[in-house]
Amino acid sequence: MKILYPHGEATDAEVEEVLRVAIEGRKRVKDQLLRIDSTYPAVRFSYFTMDGKEHWVKTLEEEEYPAAYHRQISRTEELPFEGGQVESGGNAHRAEEVTAPVPVERRSETPMRAPEEKHLVFQENQKGVSFDKLFGPYMAGASKITITDPYLRLFHQQRNLMELLETISKNSSPENEVAVHVLTAEDGFNSEKQAENFQKMAQACAGIGIVFS
């Protein structure tokens, strides 16, 4: 607090933000100790605001995987080995190639719940937030969609676009085609590869009910 706000003029919201980060960091350490040794006493990781209301602090892992997060490890239990890529010498390079969107099952005529206006908040590094969950209900019945994104140059950016195209296909009627037009900036360093990848997308989209341009 002294480094961030040396004059002591932090607002309640700024103090609360720093407090939550500090509590969350301590909670991660304590929760790991509890998983290893159940003799550690339980701790209430919360704080009170001026109105007397208690606010509990949870980690992102705890909210996403509550069953696994609170599982204790016995002394005889072996931890699963998680394999990974082994690198030796120099820099590791991975070939990344744009492939066609996977053909998906078009949605049935079962009526979907009408989309609702909402405000969503995501934590840093949160997983499981898919285009299906975010935009699926809003795309049902659409006949023309325009996607504006100036950054569709790198592999991961174009992969996100392909995942969005799959979501569009899932939420379109089997007998109707959806026109999807993309507005983006040309890659000044590798425009030929960028155009080639878009052409692959257009060819693949023809088989899943999307006219891609």
How much is the pLDDT for 122? 84
Residue type, 168: I
* Dist. CA 96–CA 73, nearest whole Å: 38
How much is the pLDDT for 112? 57
| Cβ–Cβ under 8 Å, residues 150 and 117 | no
Torsion of CA 167, 171, 177, 183, to 10 degrees: -40
Q: Max Cα separation, the chain?
A: 65
| Cβ–Cβ under 8 Å, residues 168 and 180 | yes
How much is the pLDDT for 121? 83
Domain with CATH 3.30.870.30 in the chain: 131-212
How much is the pLDDT for 93? 42
Residues found in the chain:
213
CB 165: neighbour CB atoms within 10 A? Answer: 25
How much is the pLDDT for 84? 41
* Dist. CA 178–CA 208, nearest whole Å: 10
131-212: CATH topology is Endonuclease; Chain A (3.30.870)
* Dist. CA 162–CA 101, nearest whole Å: 6
Mean pLDDT by 10 residues, the chain (213 residues): 89 91 90 83 87 90 80 53 41 47 49 75 83 88 93 92 92 87 94 93 90 95
* Dist. CA 43–CA 208, nearest whole Å: 53
